[in-house]
Structure 1
Amino acid sequence: MRELVFALEYEPGCNRVADALADHPDARVRSLSLHVTADRLWRVDHATGTATALDAVEDAFLNGDYYADCLVTEDCGATQTTRVLDRADDTLVLYSDWERTPACASVPHIARDHFGDGVLFETRHEGRHYTWRLIHSGRGDVAAFFDALESAVGECAQTELLRTADTTTSATGADGTPSALPPAQEAALQAAVEHGYYESPREVDVSELAEHLDVPRSTLTYRLRRAEEHVAKQHVAGERGANERLASR
């Protein structure tokens, strides 16, 4: 089995969910379940954020001109249904059922075309950054998949490969977090340190650093946040491991 992790960075106006999340940086949407056949897609998503942010996310899912995961930027004639399964002050659970037409395209359907049945999907959507994690048999052509994906998204999103690896080769630490940063996150973190982003006071802000790296500000913010999360978890796991070793002596 193979793992494939990549991200789409949506341009403004190309995806209503991405626009809603960009307007509310505190909000997140992650998949709880996602299933696909040749002409159908079912998924359950869990969103977190303020009440105002969740209102915007819910509206984007329920009242978009086309299904949120469709890579076509206009109405393709598909039939979709999205229902709210649960709603609290800071959480929202949505169920979506999408019956596509030949004009439709989506990440899961492109993945199925290239990797066959049985692909497992996990998604995380923050701002305009939409991260996908796929587990597949390994028999497909990753390069051909990316060519098809880039053709489908066109100018509406940038694609970024984050990781591809054999799932039998452990890429996680003792706490289940990745043991190494993806190259893009490593480069962002290194540049942030070298240019004084973590100095007090800061010698450079995110916008200036993004301009230096020639990436969108939202992309750099996402990469730094993921890298910082990784470093923090690795640190805590290391401290916990050290304490356990001392206690066992």
Structure 2
Amino acid sequence: MREFVFTVTYKQGADDLMDVFISNPDLYARTLSCYATPRTMWRVDEVSGPEAALAEYDTAVAGLSRCSNLRGMGGCEIDWQHEVLEERPGRRVIYSKQSEDGGCRSIPYLVAHYLSDGVLFRAEQQRDEYVWRILAADSAAMSDVYDEIDRHLRDGLSLSFDRVERAPGWTGHSTPAPTDLPAEQRTALRLAVEYGYYEQPRQHSLQDIAEAEGIPTSTLQYRLNAAEGRLARRFLQTDRDGDRADPAPRMTGQSD
């Protein structure tokens, strides 16, 4: 088995919902469950982030249900319905049903069409990227999917594709997802990475980062230490108890 990765990058203004992710770097969404045929997709997504970002997300999602002219990444018209299954501070769980009309469809529909059964999917949204990770047989032919999407991609979107020799993250032994961390700890980690705190040699100190972002150094240090400790404990736990770790989110494909 091999992982195939499609990454769709959105320009600001190309998509109302992705604009919310672009404007809120700490907002993150991932599929918990997903099922697709060549025409319809049913999915459950977990969305996490600061409350202000989630409020923007809630507004955008509500607007999608009222919009009569939604377009998929391939330009097809979309019929979209949703229901909020869980709402609590820092987290939303959203069920949605989405159908695309004739024309060039989006990635999950095309994979269901060309490969039929036997594939698993995961999807993530953060910043300007919408990433689809596909677990399929080594011999799976993804070129038709890529070519069709690339030919019909909407304005303001770009597509990249990668084949990963191994399939990391599908065994339940992977590191925690971003949703496992509180929003302020996730922000501290993101800033540390962006400012090169973990680089060798270190590009910026915590004091540099705190001053640049207007955060007390002690607060940033506390949040970063808490995040690192949480990740380390989770990593060791999944390493010891891998057999009990949650399985990777699943998506199955079915052709008509």
TM-score (norm 1): 0.64
How far off its partner does 1:67 sit? 8.7
Q: 1:95 to 1:138 in 2, by over 3 A?
A: same
Structure 1 Cα separation of the partners of residues 38 and 204 of structure 2: 54
Q: 1:116 to 1:35 in 2, by over 3 A?
A: same
What's the counterpart of residue 251 of structure 2? none
Note the alpha carbon deviations across 1:19-52, whole angstroms, 9 max, x for none: 0111111211111111101221101111001222
When structure 1 is superposed on structure 2, of 28-37 and 57-66 the one drifting more is 57-66
What's the counterpart of residue 26 of structure 1? 26
Structure 1 Cα separation of the partners of residues 140 and 171 of structure 2: 28
- Give the letter for the 1:29 counterpart: A
Matched, 1:126 2:130: no
What's the counterpart of residue 216 of structure 1? none
Q: 1:172 to 1:62 in 2, by over 3 A?
A: closer
Q: 1:176 to 1:87 in 2, by over 3 A?
A: closer
Relative CO higher for 1 or 2, CA cutoff 8 Å, sep ≥ 6?
2
Q: SS state of the match for residue 94, structure 1?
A: strand
Q: What is the RMSD of the two structures over their aligned residues, measured on CA atoms?
A: 3.7
What's the counterpart of residue 183 of structure 2? none
Matched, 1:60 2:64: no
Matched length: 194
What's the counterpart of residue 204 of structure 1? none
Q: 1:172 to 1:100 in 2, by over 3 A?
A: closer
- Give the letter for the 2:34 counterpart: L
TM-score (norm 2): 0.62
What's the counterpart of residue 38 of structure 2? 38
How far off its partner does 1:139 sit? 4.1
How far off its partner does 1:72 sit? 4.3
For the 8 Å contact 1:85–1:94, the answer to whether it is kept is: yes
Residues 121-200 of structure 1: pairs in structure 2 closer than 5 A:
121-165=121-165, 167=167, 176=174, 198-200=202-204
Q: 1:92 to 1:172 in 2, by over 3 A?
A: closer
% identical aligned pairs: 21
Matched, 1:80 2:51: no
For the 8 Å contact 1:17–1:61, the answer to whether it is kept is: yes
